[in-house]
Amino acid sequence: MTVIRTERLILRNWEERDRELFHRINSEPAVMEFFPFRRNRAQADARMDEISAEIAAQGYGWTAVEIAVTGQCIGFVGLHDVEIEPVAPAGSIEIGWRLAPEFWGHGYVTEAATAWLDYAFDKLGKPQVVSFAVTNNKRSRAVMERLGMRREASLDFDHPEIPDTQPQLKRHVFYRVTREDWEARKRAAQ
């Protein structure tokens, strides 16, 4: 993959030194509050290997976020191919993130996601990028709105991969940003 640099961050593929952090962000209750699972170390290592291979093959994915001045990996932000009919048909791409809690509230997700949205529209030529979160996930929803994504309440949905035994996690709100909206937002910021 091409490494993406922002003002403060490096967005890159996962490295061996990132395994502890990857496990942590996939097992810590505060980070995983809106997910129906926690990964043990073996599961996290296997998932990190899968994600790393996907990134190497396609050039994007749930990429590691590193603070440039310290070299510290703090979580992931990236693009992911998604298909959830009818809200995200085949060919859709979503943006998502997960950071260790001590890095919340510093604007890192917004900074990294902005770079990935530029990539999605400028390099991949995508007409839109979607995102979704559990209805009560106010932190992620706030990021989506800071990015200029618009909620489309008519497309809110019950996530098919969430078990019925966890009804509090089933309902998801749906957001999207189109290439036209993104370009207009960038022009307005100049």
Give all domains of the chain, ordered by start, each with its CATH number. Answer: 4-189 (3.40.630.30)
CA dist 177 and 180 (Å) reads: 8
Q: How far apart are CA 157 and CA 146, in angstroms?
A: 22
Question: How many beta carbons lie within 10 A of that of residue 52, not counting itself?
Answer: 21
71 vs 130: CA distance, rounded Å? 30
Q: pLDDT 10s digit of each residue in the chain, 190 long?
A: 789 999 999 999 999 999 999 999 999 999 999 999 999 999 999 999 999 999 999 999 999 999 999 999 999 999 999 999 999 999 999 999 999 999 999 999 999 999 999 999 999 999 999 999 999 999 999 999 999 999 999 999 999 999 999 999 999 999 999 999 999 999 998 8
State how far the Cα of 93 lies from the Cα of 2, in Å rounded to an integer.
18
- pTM, two decimal places: 0.95
Beta pairing partners, 178: 128
What is the Cα 39 distance to its own chain's centre? 18
